Structure formats: structure tokens, C-alpha cells
Structure 1
Amino acid sequence: MSTALASATLAETPTAGAAAWTGLIGLAVAMGIGRFAFTPLLPLMQQDAGVSLVQGSWLATANYVGYLVGALICISSPPPPARAIQWGLVSIALFTLGMGLTHELSLWFALRFLAGAASAFVLVGVSAWAMPVFARLHQARRSGQVFAGVGVGICLAGLVGLVAGVTALGSQATWISLGVIAAVFALALWRQLASDGVRTTSAAGGRAPLTRQAWTAALCYGAFGYGYIIPATFLPALAREMIKDPAMFGWVWPVFGAAAAVSTVFAARLLPTFSSRRLWAYAQWVLASGVVAPVFAINLTTVLFAALCVGGTFMVITMAGIQEARRLGGAQSAPVVALYTAAFALGQIVGPLTVSMFHGGLLPSLLAALALAASSLTLGLTARASGATV
């Protein structure tokens, strides 16, 4: 009987390949659709639903706030990783479908808020579910495949938005299409996650408090969120001014997503040579150069350079940052990952507010680059105390 039980447990435990594909698809749906699909769909909503730029900004903020709330819930009451992924994906599918079934602005706010919260659950769940599998099987490079899912999802949502723009499909039908895609993938992953054989350490009862090093690194991760969101939010607007042809402009978001997907796979191969902390710090310097480039000249070259720097590093930093969170958190890494996610979400909220405070201009970009530089320096200065090297 013991042999049969061992065989059943082994069969239930996912292989590295199965965990990688499950994580990739989960993040593609959660981030590509639940978080970032709004960017390529906003022009369609402006055209056929009369959404103003101010309303679009508030809808994006509602998603950011939901992401923050979801992360805070994961800190206070960490959910079982597999269940967080399952119900998070189902929720994202439902909330995305809802966007195409109503014209009420108040309902849109609620749906974007809830989709943001569900996305945070999936990100924390995937990190806590897949990473231990790779560690146990000595397949750390597979983490690059998992985090490439974000870029894949962004590329998919961008292509759907491009087709919708060229064929005049309309924003309602496009939201419904993305909701159906999300539902199909959520159902496809349900069985894999239902037979979850991954053993995770319970956080109940004697959960250790977060260390000073974890809080410091989380602050650096929040600075990344602040520095990243300013170009990620306003580069499309600059590109729209430079590229007049809608069909050409429609390729900006898919290419951005493709760069994010490829960069994580490449960066994962560097992890045996570079520590996650070093990779994080170096990538932020590249991101900072992209943030500051349009300050010196606003033209198509600098916009494309900035897009390449942002698209090619933001998921590398996310992957390396979560790897560092797992290192600092050890067996109780889920709350640390959730803390990072909350810090990132808070930075995303503060970034656009800074732009509004200074009425646009160059100062917000300079502040974002300064925050990224300070974050990288802090990671280096505190490396020895955290037990890492940069």
C-alpha cells in the first residue's frame, strides 16, 4: 500500500515542464488580460464608448488599487497557492467578460478593481506554486519560462486589440473575446491545479515576522514600480504622436510584450552566473536609461529606445525580484512575495499622481530615473547584510 501511495503522490506532483507551462499560462491570463489588456483597448473605448482620457486614467488606477488590495490580502492571509491560481483565473475571466456586457462607468470601475485584485492572487499563487517545484528538481532556469507568460499575455492582448482596431470590431466585442480566451485557459488549468501535489509550508500559527532585509528590498521593489509605470503609462501616448498610422501604432504593444517575453527567458540563463539581486540591480540601470531618454529629446528614435529598455527589463526585474523574495523568505516566502507585490502596486499608484502633480513635463521622468538609481544603489549597499552579493 505504501508503494501505491508513493506512486500516486509522484503522479500528482507536476514535472518541471508542466509547472512551467501552467505558470506561463496563468501569468499570461492574469497579467496580459487581467492587468494590461486595458492599455490597447482604451483607444477603442474612447472611440465607440466615449471614454475620456481622465476616465481612462481612473479606470487604470482602479486596477492598480485592486492589485494593491489583493496583495495586502495575500500578506495578511496567504491563500493556498493552487487555489489562488484557480479562482483568480476564473475571476479574471468573469470580470473581463463583464467589461463587454455593460456601459456603466461605475461597473467598469468595480470590474477593473476586482480584476486587479484577482491578478495579484494569481501572481503570488504562481510564485509560491511553481518556484518550489523548480528548486526541488534543480530547474531554476524554468522560472524564465514562467515569467515570459506576462509578455506572452501582453502580446496576445495587443494582437487582439490590433485586429479589433483594423476590423472595427468594437471595444465590447473585444472585451468579450478576451474574456472567453481567459475562461478557456482557466478551465484548461483547473484540472492540473486540482490534482496539486506540491507541498507548501503552512503559514498559519507560528509565521515568522518579516525581516528588515525583506522590508528594505520591498521598498526597492516599490521604487521599481514607481519608476516603471511612468514610461509604461505615457510612452504609448508619445508613440501615438510619432506614428500616425493606427495599424502601425497597433504593433507597439505586441512588440513590447514580445520583448518582455524573450528577455525573461534570456535572463533566466544568467541566474547561475548572476545572483537574482545583481540581475535586478543591473536591469534597473537599463530601465532608468530608458526612462530618462525622452527627457533629452522626444522623437521616434528615443521613444523606441525607451520602449525597448522598458519592455526588455520590467519582467526581468519582476522575475529577479521575486526570486530574491523567495531567497529572503525561505520556507515562508509567500508573504514576502505578497509584500513585494503590494509595494509595486503602491509605486504604480504614486507614479501617475506625480505626473498629475507636476502637470506632465520632464520632472516626473527625472524623478522616476532617480528612484530606480536609488533602488539599485540600495540593493548593492545592503547586499552583505541580506546574505547576497551584487
Structure 2
Amino acid sequence: MPILAPAFYVALCGLAALAISQGIGRFAMTPILPMMQAEGLTLAQGGWLAAANYLGYLVGALSTIWLALSPAAAIRGALLAIAVSTLAMGFVDSFAAWLALRALAGVASGWVLVYVSAWALERLADLGRPGLGGALYAGVGTGVAVAGFACLVIMQLHSSADAAWLSLGVAAIAATGAIWAAFGSAAPRTQASQSGSRVSSAWLLIACYGAYGFGYIVPATFLPAMARQIVADPLAFGSAWPIFGTAAALSTLAAATLGAAMGPRRVWIVCMVIMAIGVAAPLLVPGLAGILLSALLVGATFVTITLAGMQEARRLYGSAARPVMAAMTSAFAVGQLIGPILIALVETMPHGFTVVLLMATASLLAGAAALTSQHE
């Protein structure tokens, strides 16, 4: 029996679920990558591991469009899969097994984002507290920040990447147990019969959300690794990811207020432009300062865009928004899958990283322009 008011209970449990799915299921490898590199993993191999996770995320998001799953079963099963696959990363020492485990975590992360977003946003609207959506999506940044700080401590203790995976796996199990009961009330909702036509009519939202996925993913995957190339101190290069996560968590709280004043689409457009500046920051500002500026600007906007995009879909399509959200998340997953693959392919090419950052910047600016061109 929750002791909090119902709306706060929904937001808090949704926050915790997104913290597990995004901070650990999707992004655990980002702060662990420098430790894995110190143990012999190459940047290209890191890129393929990230791509496996993002391919899984794409499969997970796409499957929510046609799978008739109980939201309770989907959310609970996905959270368990994230916890178990993260723990297993610390027990196995095979690159092929790592690829499979990160892909499984990606599938589960896609399920959690889509099902928890639909479950929580609908209930918050029913309870008259849609503004708490900002607190819900603060879970993404909270998970990123917690994982980042945990890995920073582990690096300072000169421990191994295996220890980091095991620590995050245990944290995921504990958090899943704490919120397990909340999703017993996640009863299936009837979807509108014209779901397919709604998805096809939302092509601009879907395409722009895909552009966002490609635009943010290079710094979101490789910031600590980029910082490690500039400075050897783990406290210095390891700080990039906690900054990213903290900025993400705090920004969503402000985004709810901005969304009420500006509307979700305008918030989405402004954040795409700010994120473009952040993605280009390592090219514009030399040294560690450019990396940390990128962490701040991309971190402060990437979850805000997620929130604004989901709110815009719900504003336009109401209770039938879940297939649109799933299609947007799938396009996002395609975009974020391309980034690590490009990095893996161009790692040894002169200025290859620079070219990918410029492509990501252009993608974000093009998405912002396209959203501006369509009348609300």
C-alpha cells in the first residue's frame, strides 16, 4: 500500500524503472568502457557492444507495436532481464557473450521505456498531475548519474570492470524489488483500431525523433572514452558521465514547467539546437573543457527531448499514442544504432571521429528545422 499520494507514487516508481532501464540497461557500458579499455578492449569493440545494445533497443521498441503483452508482465520481465544480463557481464569473459547480453539488455530497455511511458503518463493525466512527467523522466538522468558516480568510485578504488558490472547488476535487482508491486496495476489498455493510420500520420515526429537518436548518441556513448584520450586521471575523465547524468536529471524537472509555458514541441526544437551545440563542443572548445561542456549541454537536453517528444505524441494522439510512441522510439533506436557503427568503422581513419560529430550536429539542426516548418 503506497504511503505517497497516488500521482507521486506513480511518478516515483516510473522514475525508478527508467533509472534501471536507461541508466543501467542502456548506458551502463559508457562509464565502464574506460575500465574495459584498460583491460584490453578496443574502441571499435566498444562500438560494436554499444551497437548490439542499441540494436536490441530497436527490436524491443518495434516489438511493442504488435506484441499483445500485459504491461505488468512486460515491465517486470524487462526489469528482471536488465538486472540478470548486467550481472552476467561480470561473470563471463567472451566477447560474443557480451554482445548477446548487451543486446538482451537493449531489448528490455526498449520495452521499459515504451510501456512505462504509456503507463505513467496516462495515469498522471487521469490523476490530474501531467506536470509530474518531468519527475518521471528524471529517472533517466538519475540512473545515468548513479551509474556514473558508482563507476567513478570503482575506478578510484582501482577495481575491475567486472566489479562495476556486478555492482550495477545488484543495484538493478534491489531497485526492481522495491518497485515490483507498483506495476501489478498496469492493466492492458484497449488501443484504438486505427493505430496504423495514426503511426503513418506521425511521420514527421517519428523522423525528427530518429534524427535526435543519431545526433545525441556519439557523446552519450563515448564521452568518457573521449575524455580518457585527453587526460589520464580517472577522477577527471570519469567525471564526464556523472555530469551528463546530473544535468539530465535536473533538466527534466525544469522541462515540465517550460513545457507548460511553451508547449512540448517548442521545448523539443530549442533543445535540439542546444544539443547540436553540445555535440559540436569538443570540436569548438579544445581539451577537457570541450568534453565537459558537451556533457553538460547534451546531458541537459537529451532526456528533455525524450519527455517533450512523448508529451507531443500524447498531445496529438491522446490515449491512442502508444503505437506512435513505439514508432518514435524505434526510429530513435535506428538513429542511435548508426552512431556506434560509424565510430567502429572510422576509428582508424584520419578525422573520422570529427566527421561523425559533424554529421550528428547536422542531424539535430535538420530535425529542429523540420519541426519548426510544420504548423502545430
TM-score, normalised to structure 2, is: 0.93
Correspondence 1:184 to 2:164 = no
Code of the residue aligned with 1:369 in structure 2: it is T
Runs of at least 4 residues of structure 1 off by over 6 A?
Answer: none
Is residue 80–residue 125 contact of structure 1 (8 Å, CA) maintained in 2?
no
Correspondence 1:378 to 2:366 = no
Correspondence 1:74 to 2:52 = no
Q: Hey, what does 1:22 align to over in structure 2?
A: 13
Structure 1 residue matching 2:269: 3-state secondary structure? helix
- Mapped partners of 1:205, 1:341: distance in 2: 21
Q: CA, structure 1 residues 61+335, in 2 after alignment: closer, same or farther (shift >3 Å)?
A: same
Cα deviation, residue 178, structure 1: 1.2
Query: Which has the higher mean CA deviation after the structures are superposed, 134-143 or 211-220?
Result: 211-220
Code of the residue aligned with 2:271 in structure 1: it is A
Q: CA, structure 1 residues 257+84, in 2 after alignment: closer, same or farther (shift >3 Å)?
A: same
2:202 equivalent among 181, 191, 214 = 214
- Mapped partners of 2:54, 2:5: distance in 1: 32
- Mapped partners of 1:333, 1:150: distance in 2: 21
Q: Hey, what does 1:96 align to over in structure 2?
A: 86
Is residue 29–residue 182 contact of structure 1 (8 Å, CA) maintained in 2?
yes
Q: Hey, what does 1:108 align to over in structure 2?
A: 98
| Cα deviations by residue, 1:209-248 (Å, 9 ceiling, x for unpaired) | 2344412111000000111112323433332233331122
Cα deviation, residue 72, structure 1: 0.9
Q: CA, structure 1 residues 46+240, in 2 after alignment: closer, same or farther (shift >3 Å)?
A: closer
Q: CA, structure 1 residues 301+160, in 2 after alignment: closer, same or farther (shift >3 Å)?
A: closer
Is residue 277–residue 321 contact of structure 1 (8 Å, CA) maintained in 2?
yes
- Mapped partners of 1:224, 1:232: distance in 2: 12
Q: Hey, what does 2:325 align to over in structure 1?
A: 337
Q: Hey, what does 2:241 align to over in structure 1?
A: 253
- Mapped partners of 2:221, 2:148: distance in 1: 15
Cα deviation, residue 380, structure 1: 1.4
Cα deviation, residue 125, structure 1: 1.1
Code of the residue aligned with 2:148 in structure 1: it is G
Cα deviation, residue 59, structure 1: 0.9
Cα deviation, residue 280, structure 1: 0.4
- Mapped partners of 1:361, 1:271: distance in 2: 34
Q: Hey, what does 1:132 align to over in structure 2?
A: 122
Aligned length: 372
- Mapped partners of 1:345, 1:336: distance in 2: 14
Q: Hey, what does 2:339 align to over in structure 1?
A: 351
- Mapped partners of 1:15, 1:319: distance in 2: 21
Q: CA, structure 1 residues 78+310, in 2 after alignment: closer, same or farther (shift >3 Å)?
A: farther
- Mapped partners of 1:66, 1:183: distance in 2: 20
Is residue 59–residue 107 contact of structure 2 (8 Å, CA) maintained in 1?
yes
Residue pairs, 1:316-327, within 5 angstroms = 316-327=304-315
Is residue 30–residue 222 contact of structure 2 (8 Å, CA) maintained in 1?
no
| Cα deviations by residue, 1:66-99 (Å, 9 ceiling, x for unpaired) | 0001011011225332322111101111111111
Q: CA, structure 1 residues 21+84, in 2 after alignment: closer, same or farther (shift >3 Å)?
A: same
Gap regions ≥5 residues in structure 1: 1-7
Correspondence 1:295 to 2:249 = no
Correspondence 1:31 to 2:22 = yes
Code of the residue aligned with 1:34 in structure 2: it is G
Q: CA, structure 1 residues 259+162, in 2 after alignment: closer, same or farther (shift >3 Å)?
A: same
Q: Which has the higher helix share?
A: 2
Correspondence 1:41 to 2:32 = yes
Code of the residue aligned with 1:125 in structure 2: it is Y
Q: CA, structure 1 residues 76+275, in 2 after alignment: closer, same or farther (shift >3 Å)?
A: same
Code of the residue aligned with 2:108 in structure 1: it is A
Code of the residue aligned with 1:286 in structure 2: it is I
Gap regions ≥5 residues in structure 2: none
Code of the residue aligned with 2:138 in structure 1: it is A
Q: CA, structure 1 residues 267+205, in 2 after alignment: closer, same or farther (shift >3 Å)?
A: closer
- Mapped partners of 2:313, 2:121: distance in 1: 11
Q: Hey, what does 1:161 align to over in structure 2?
A: 151
Q: Hey, what does 2:359 align to over in structure 1?
A: 367
Cα deviation, residue 345, structure 1: 0.8
Q: Hey, what does 1:235 align to over in structure 2?
A: 223
- Mapped partners of 1:336, 1:14: distance in 2: 30
- Mapped partners of 2:50, 2:307: distance in 1: 23
Is residue 31–residue 224 contact of structure 2 (8 Å, CA) maintained in 1?
no
Aligned-CA RMSD value: 2.2
Query: Which has the higher mean CA deviation after the structures are superposed, 26-35 or 211-220?
Result: 211-220
- Mapped partners of 1:31, 1:38: distance in 2: 11
- Mapped partners of 2:38, 2:277: distance in 1: 34
Cα deviation, residue 129, structure 1: 0.7
Query: Which has the higher mean CA deviation after the structures are superposed, 294-303 or 84-93?
Result: 294-303
- Mapped partners of 1:231, 1:174: distance in 2: 21
- Mapped partners of 2:288, 2:170: distance in 1: 36
The structure number with the bigger radius of gyration is 1
Q: Hey, what does 2:160 align to over in structure 1?
A: 170
Q: CA, structure 1 residues 365+315, in 2 after alignment: closer, same or farther (shift >3 Å)?
A: same
Is residue 41–residue 171 contact of structure 1 (8 Å, CA) maintained in 2?
yes
- Mapped partners of 2:287, 2:158: distance in 1: 29
Correspondence 1:263 to 2:251 = yes
Q: Hey, what does 1:244 align to over in structure 2?
A: 232
| Cα deviations by residue, 1:176-201 (Å, 9 ceiling, x for unpaired) | 2211111111122111212x0x5653
Q: Hey, what does 1:5 align to over in structure 2?
A: none
Cα deviation, residue 261, structure 1: 0.2
Is residue 151–residue 260 contact of structure 1 (8 Å, CA) maintained in 2?
yes
